């Protein structure tokens, strides 16, 4: 079962780059790595997904080393509106039940 470990919380200031790392030592060959963002009183929202190396979209980058036992979500130049909980999700639901960890609570200060 591919469980994940993330820091419980992180603080940053507006304009800084934030990197959140997720450990997933038991990742399986078919597993993808997906990151979600959740604001208070809302459902999670998809940010980015990857399988290996680097993926970039309009809001974030995802770095995955060759052994795939960890991944790093990179948020460039965060703003106050990026204050949220970020979840790393690893799984292929045909073999694992989707497991969300406790997430990383990011607080961005002015």
Q: Does 110 bind another protein (CB under 8 A)?
A: no
Strand order in the sheet with 45-50: 9-13, 104-109, 84-91, 32-38, 45-50
20-39: which residues touch another protein (CB under 8 A)? 30-34, 36
Interface with another protein, residue 55, by CB under 8 A: no
Closest distance of CB 10 from another protein, Å: 16
Judged by beta carbon, residue 18 or residue 48, the one nearer another protein is: 48
H or E stretch at 19: strand 18-23
Cβ count near 16 (within 10 Å): 13
For residue 3, state whether it binds another protein (rule: CB under 8 A).
no
């Amino acid at each position: 079962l591919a469980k994940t470990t993330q820091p419980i919380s992180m603080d940053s200031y507006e304009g800084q780059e934030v990197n959140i790392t997720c450990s997933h030592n038991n990742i399986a060959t078919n597993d993808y790595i997906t990151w979600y963002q959740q604001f208070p009183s809302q459902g999670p929202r998809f940010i980015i997904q990857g399988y290996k190396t680097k993926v970039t979209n309009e809001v974030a980058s995802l770095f995955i080393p060759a052994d795939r036992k960890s991944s790093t979500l990179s948020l460039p130049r965060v703003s106050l509106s990026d204050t949220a909980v970020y979840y790393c999700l690893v799984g292929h639901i045909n073999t694992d039940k989707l497991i969300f960890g406790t997430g990383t609570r990011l607080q961005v200060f002015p």
